[in-house]
């Protein structure tokens, strides 16, 4: 499933 992209990487 496609969920909102989380930007926790630098």
Partner 1 sequence: MNIFRFLGDLSHLTSILILIHKIQTSRSCRGISYKTQLLYVIVFVSRYLDLVWTYVSLYNSLMKLFFISSSSYILYLIKIRFRPTLDPSIDTFSLPYLIIPAAILSLIFNYADEKAWLSEVLWSFSIYLESVAILPQLFLLQRTGEAETITTHYLFALGAYRALYIPNWIYRYATESFVDPIAIISGLIQTALYADFFYIYFTKVIRGQKFELPA
**CA–CA distance, 2 with 10 (Å, rounded to integer):** 22
Binders of partner 1 in range 1-10 (CB under 8 A):
4-10
Supply the DSSP symbol for 4. Answer: P
CB of 5 to partner 1, least distance (A): 5
* Least gap, CB of 1 to partner 1 (angstroms): 9
Please count the helices (runs of H) and the strands (runs of E) in the chain.
Answer: 0, 0
**Nearest distance, CB of residue 9 and partner 1, angstroms:** 7
Residues at the interface with partner 1 (CB under 8 A): 4-10
């Amino acid at each position: 499933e496609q969920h909102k992209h989380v930007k926790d990487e630098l």
